[in-house]
Structure 1
Amino acid sequence: MAEAGSTEYLRKLLRKADEHCSAGSSDTVSTFYRNKPSSYFDDIKDKHNNIMEPYLKDHGGDPRCPINGRLKGLFFNVTLQGGTIPHKSPFGARRVKLPLSEVFNDSANLYFADFYCKRPRNHLRRSSQMVSRRRSRIHYVTLVLTRSGSDADRFCQQHLLKLDPQGNRYLSKKSSIYKTLDRDAVHVEVMYTESVDLTNRDLTSTPTIGQGQSTPGGIPKTVGCSICNVV
């Protein structure tokens, strides 16, 4: 169970997420996907024996997110666009995919960690422009997937909210069927806390959008957004 000091805050944040996502439906999904620049995967092959190892979570998102700077993992996306994995990515030109059945099995636990949107890069926009863009701003739901009994799992038991693997709206499994949220302008991201062996896995090329890579240190949560800020 999460610590008393953070439990109520996380519960309020989850209620915010549930409220915003209640109008969404669900997509059947079978794959985790992760995009990074080619140099990232080259480094793993050349210097890390093809093992993609978890690293410390940055300080992006909600500043009170319990995993910021405290838990190691690998971020994967699960959100589909039009029922398929997005053709482009803002995080890099190469993509690796993992079958959900390989990592989200009966020995895994799922936790809620964060709900946020990213503040605009141009902080000098007028408030009227900010208001007009607020409804279309992309929100992110952050989940953590652990191996039951691991050090990461014990951390999450103490600091996060455990989700029912069959009954939550963000990423669920029933038998061999996996479902994820289908909600306009909401992305579900999953931090997986185990290493991944890239041997015999296909790396595919994808076009990039935006800056084409993640921002070092992460992007802080938007202050004042009524959708994802807890009052």
Structure 2
Amino acid sequence: MKPASSFWRKIAGLAARKVDEAECDVCPPGLPGEDPAFSTAVTALGAKLAKADGEAQAAEYDAFHAIFQAEPGSEGAIRRLYQLARQTTRGFEGYARRLRKRYGACPQLLEDVLDGLFHIAASDGVVTADELAYLERVGELFGLSPLTFRRLKATHLGAANDDPYVILGVAPDAGDEAVRAAWRSQLSEAHPDRARARGLPAEFVEVAEAKASAINAAFSTIRRERDAIARAGAA
């Protein structure tokens, strides 16, 4: 399998051309990194996120580059496209819609992209209300559920100690089997081996490991709380 960063080979040549090329109605075959439209849209979304709080900072580009790694030799072209896109947040919705149109049948991939954008937003130490609004809108345009967004938000920004259900994506009154099924499903999707199998960079694997840890911690908290409630009811 080619390394995920190989997709930057194509975007290097794309940077000087139109940034809104080809669309199709099904997920293209192969790694998304080999799809120039994916590469361009992700670059634009990352750049425009940096502008969402009114000031694009160097730390945000560094975080973008760490998550969506460039091939050696193509960094200059990537930076030029990034600098162009970050001049304004205008147009970000179009890029998000293009990604959904191409990868709507691959929701986990779209979640991976939003996960990476959260990482970029938090890179300067503060996620502003404007950045959160941007991320939430991207999630909506990706077709991700509000609970998925809330889980990602909790994973990156910290969930309340009494709200582990946000991380698992279930309602607090969900039955035990529903909670267990959600835990298994989320853990399966978040497993670092899946990130490796999708050819994502090492930094994404680290994000997956953190997500899996948060999912396990949430499930353990729910079990402890429910066990305590059951003991209190039996007393």
Query: Does the pair score TM above 0.5?
Result: no
TM-score interval for Structure 1 and Structure 2 normalised by the shorter chain:
under 0.3
The structure where strand makes up a greater share of residues is 1
The normalised TM-score by structure 2 is 0.27
- Whose RCO is larger (CA < 8 A, sep 6+)? 1
The normalised TM-score by structure 1 is 0.27
The structure where helix makes up a greater share of residues is 2
